[in-house]
Chain A
Amino acid sequence: MTVRRIPTKTLGPRGAGALRRRLVVGCLVLASLVLITISFRSGDDGPLAGVQSAASTVLRPFAVGVERVAQPFRDAYHWADSLLDARSDAERYRQEARELRQRVIQAEFALQENEYLRRLLDYVDGPRFPEDFEPVPAEVIGRPGGAFTQAIVVAAGSENGIRVNDPVVTADGLVGIVTRVMPREARVQLLTDQEAAASAIDVRTQAQGIVRHALGTRETLVLDRVRKRDVVRPGDEIVTAGWRTGGLSSLFPKGIPIGVVTSVGQTDTDLFQQVQVDPYVDFGDLDAVLVLVPLEPRE
């Protein structure tokens, strides 16, 4: 009995395998490039937008299900994590509560005076938060990776009245802005995204600037374009400015808390101050948000 190898044909298993391999990867790379091209060029109105909308609707229940399953574990992790800081936090909060009590009394007086003067002047103001907005609560069901985009996907969309450019907040402060809307989902660009910015003011000094992400950092913000003559100090609170000029207005209503100033620096060569802001919102730990839908349609 002898054993001999079967002679290979012209295009043997090795050659055929290589050809098949190249064909497969070539077709998939080509398909990816076509998808990128169509998706990038056509934006939210192109043929792929409908497909993406339908697919995201189909995938939504799975995402919501996974989110619900993961929530108790996430809560347990946060509970354990918060225990470590509880002692130091308690003392700090007691101190803050004493200061805030004083400020609430002063603010109450100022509010009454403000209302009275507004009535006297028949003052016309821009949209005010929260009176002129309907908050739409939404669960966070998607967290794209952090290297290239700072965004979340929430489980509410155009069917809930949400539109592109609607501001998004939590109880802590400003989160970001809606950049893409599907019928039942919306993509929210976080304030920590490189392309995000919001006009803001220092509550104490009324110094104006633009809050954006600090380059090369994780979640630190900077208040940019603050004039050198404005005396901004660490501990100052930064809120949205909510400006209006002619027919144009800020996308954010005024008065939404953004963060607290942690450091202020300036050099002789810079035109503006370098103000670092620690955001109130923990962008890495968002479970639910409020999308602020303007009651009056935006111009």
Chain B
Amino acid sequence: MIVPASVRGAALLFGVVLIQAVIVPPYLVAGGAPDLLLLVVISLGLLRGSSAGAAYGFAGGLLLDLLTLETLGVSSLVLTLAGFWAGRYAETTGRGRRLAPVLSAAVITVLAALFAFFLHSLLGDDVVARHALVTVLVPTLAVNVVLALPVHWLVRSVVPEREVLGPAQRVEVLV
């Protein structure tokens, strides 16, 4: 039985949300911890495109907020945009680049942290910029960059890359 890529992606996402919410301790490495869910959403965006990346990000964020009893929608919004950005990068300049997962993980980890900080501040949470953007972000960024390629390979082994049919490939044979 062939399982569609979208179903495999959803199953993978569900597993990663559980691991992120239940197993990964908040301070694993020097005050930070890998954001596995973000890395998987980025990889799914790179492999399946911006629309799928956004959808996976939304679903993953929603599940995470449900599991951790946080304000619904915050993680969804951040991860939707993360998946979308990764997908757009893959659809434009990042296509075929070997280090695209590492570069996108580095950039999106920083942007996601900044955006999440802005969102939490907007919602009135008592967030300290130094803690969120230095103490936690720096080690998290380092770990995410290190894990970006292994996570991407793992995701690619479960969910294959989407085949892109550009206009040039749509041809008609005239005899």
Contact = CB atoms under 8 A, between A and B. Distances in A.
Contacts of B80: 25, 28-29, 32
B172 A28 contact: no
Contact of A153 (B14, B58, B68): B68
Given A24-B51, A25-B51, A52-B66, A6 B172 contact: yes
Interface in B20-61: 20-28, 31-33, 35, 49-51, 54-55, 57-58, 61
Contacts of B116: 147-148
Interface string A10-40: 0011100000110011001101111111111
Interface string B1-32: 00000000000001000111111111110011
Given A13-B167, A142-B22, A285-B25, A32 B73 contact: yes
Name the residue in B14, B116, B167 with the highest tally of chain A Cβ atoms < 10 Å from its Cβ. Answer: B167
| Majority secondary structure of chain B interface residues (helix, strand, loop or mixed) | helix
B67 A146 contact: no
Contacts of B27: 146, 218-219, 284
A182 B69 CA distance: 9
Interface string A166-200: 00000000000000101001010000001100000
27 contacts: A1-B175, A5-B171, A5-B172, A8-B167, A25-B80, A25-B81, A28-B80, A33-B73, A40-B123, A52-B69, A52-B72, A56-B69, A63-B18, A63-B67, A66-B22, A67-B22, A67-B23, A142-B22, A145-B20, A145-B35, A146-B31, A148-B117, A149-B70, A150-B26, A217-B131, A284-B26, A285-B25
